[in-house]
């Protein structure tokens, strides 16, 4: 589990230390891409906890969601409709749903663990 | 979970971290750097100082009036009141005024007229700009073609004719009389007008602007219009 975390920290460190900035025009696209990435990541964690994790789905979802979100924002800018709001809404809702599911699964697991522990205790004596 | 999967997840989280950091950098971009230099600040101070001195001047005049009232309260109250009324009338534009000033003349540009160019009306926008610039350079009272400019005056186009106070001013031979507070102010105004682009601007409309040297006694008539005020009422007192 520590390797992905290390990757995240490394990425953040590289980004901050190189001090890369993107033009203000593209700020919208990046923010939406970040949201899409977060959504994919939490989706991946949920899938892993539900034991339905698929590598291909995860990786394709990551890139496809980012491209779709940025594309939608791009289209919205050129059509004069704030389409990026649609992406923000969709990803936002999914993010909350995913986090809620993750929370429930973790609570269930914790309770199972507690139950097991209390069952095991008398035996240990 | 296979090793391959973990590597994939690691790469993806690396990309995500990088994106987050770039987004953070972009959002944290510093605001516009304050770049006013000493000269800008000095100019601001100078304009504030001007305002300050004009306010002080007003206070001084008001205090003088108060003092007059206090010292001659019994004897000359009426005279002082009349004086004040006269002052107010002068500043509104009801009275004739004489003082140091400049006279501008707008005439047809003869060489253009000889060539067959048509003499058009003076564009109101140009006249308004001229008036605004004169006020900006401390011209106090203005008269255009015998029409005194007051706070109620309008320079505008009515049925294709340029009018001041709703009276057409004609196309040529127009005098603009300007009175300044002092001879120095008049000289300043004269020099500013000489250096301005108004000569070229009038020439575009086939007219020639000329500015006479400042003189000590320019006279401007009071306005003949009745200045009606809708909003001020007489307080009858107790």
Q: Is pLDDT above 70 for A101? A: yes
Q: Is residue B216 part of a domain?
A: yes
Residue B36 or A16, more confident: A16
- The verdict on B164 and B190 lying in the same domain is yes
Percent of chain B at pLDDT > 70 equals 95
- The verdict on B104 and B215 lying in the same domain is yes
User: Distance, in angstroms, between B126 CA and closest chain A CA?
Assistant: 40
pTM over 0.80: no
CB pairs under 8 A between A and B: 101
Q: Is residue B235 part of a domain?
A: no
Q: Is residue A13 part of a domain?
A: no
Q: Is residue B185 part of a domain?
A: yes
DSSP B149: -
Q: Is residue A16 part of a domain?
A: no
Q: Specify the number of domains making up chain A.
A: 1
Q: Is residue B198 part of a domain?
A: yes
ipTM over 0.85: no
pLDDT in tens, A37-61: 889 888 888 998 888 888 888 889 8
The residue out of B66, B92, B118 marking a domain boundary is B92
Among B105, B130, B125, B107, which residue's Cα sits nearest to residue B196? B130
**Which domain does B74 fall in, by range?**
45-92
Interface membership of A82 toward B (CB under 8 Å): no
Interface membership of A47 toward B (CB under 8 Å): no
Mutate to test the interface with A, among B11, B16, B20 (most CBs of A within 10 A): B16
- The verdict on B123 and B57 lying in the same domain is no
Domain holding B177: CATH number? 3.30.70.1880
User: Distance, in angstroms, between B34 CA and closest chain A CA?
Assistant: 20
- The verdict on B208 and B105 lying in the same domain is yes
Q: Specify the number of domains making up chain B.
A: 2
DSSP A87: H
- The verdict on B105 and B202 lying in the same domain is yes
Interface membership of A15 toward B (CB under 8 Å): yes
Q: What distance, in Å, lies between the first and last C-alpha atoms of chain A?
A: 34
Those residues whose C-beta lies under 8 Å from the C-beta of residue B63, and which sit 6 or more positions away, are none
Cβ distance B19 to A21 less than 8 Å, yes or no, reads no
Residue B54 or B73, more confident: B54
């Amino acid at each position: 589990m520590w390797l992905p975390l290390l990757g995240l920290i490394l990425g953040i460190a590289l980004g901050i230390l190189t001090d890369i900035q993107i033009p203000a025009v593209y700020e919208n696209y990046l923010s939406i891409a970040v949201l899409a990435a977060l959504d994919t990541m939490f989706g991946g964690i949920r899938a892993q906890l539900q034991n339905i994790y698929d590598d291909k789905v995860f990786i394709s979802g990551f890139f496809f969601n980012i491209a779709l979100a940025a594309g939608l924002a791009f289209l919205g800018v050129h059509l004069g409709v704030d389409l990026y709001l649609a992406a923000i809404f969709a990803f936002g809702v999914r993010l909350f749903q995913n986090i809620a599911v993750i929370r429930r699964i973790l609570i269930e697991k914790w309770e199972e663990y507690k139950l097991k522990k209390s069952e095991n205790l008398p035996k240990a004596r | 979970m296979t090793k391959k999967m973990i590597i994939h997840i690691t790469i993806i989280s690396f990309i995500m971290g990088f994106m987050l950091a770039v987004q953070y950098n972009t959002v944290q971009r510093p605001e516009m750097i304050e770049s006013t230099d000493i000269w800008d600040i000095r100019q601001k101070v100078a304009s504030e100082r001007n305002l300050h001195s004009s306010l002080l001047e007003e206070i001084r005049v008001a205090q003088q009036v108060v003092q007059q009232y206090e010292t001659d309260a019994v004897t000359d109250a009426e005279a002082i009141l009349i004086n004040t009324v006269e002052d107010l009338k002068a500043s509104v534009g009801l009275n004739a005024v004489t003082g140091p000033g400049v006279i501008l003349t707008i005439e047809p540009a003869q060489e253009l007229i000889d060539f067959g160019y048509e003499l058009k009306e003076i564009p109101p926008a140009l006249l308004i700009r001229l008036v605004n610039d004169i006020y900006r350079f401390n011209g106090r009272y203005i008269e255009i073609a015998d029409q005194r400019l007051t706070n109620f005056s309008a320079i505008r186009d009515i049925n294709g004719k340029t009018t001041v106070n709703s009276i057409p001013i004609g196309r040529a031979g127009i005098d603009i009389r300007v009175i300044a507070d002092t001879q120095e102010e008049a000289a300043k105004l004269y020099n500013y007008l000489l250096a301005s682009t108004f000569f070229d601007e009038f020439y575009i409309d086939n007219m020639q602007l000329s500015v006479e040297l400042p003189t000590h006694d320019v006279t401007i008539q009071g306005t003949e219009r009745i200045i009606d005020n809708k909003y001020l009422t007489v307080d009858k007192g107790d």
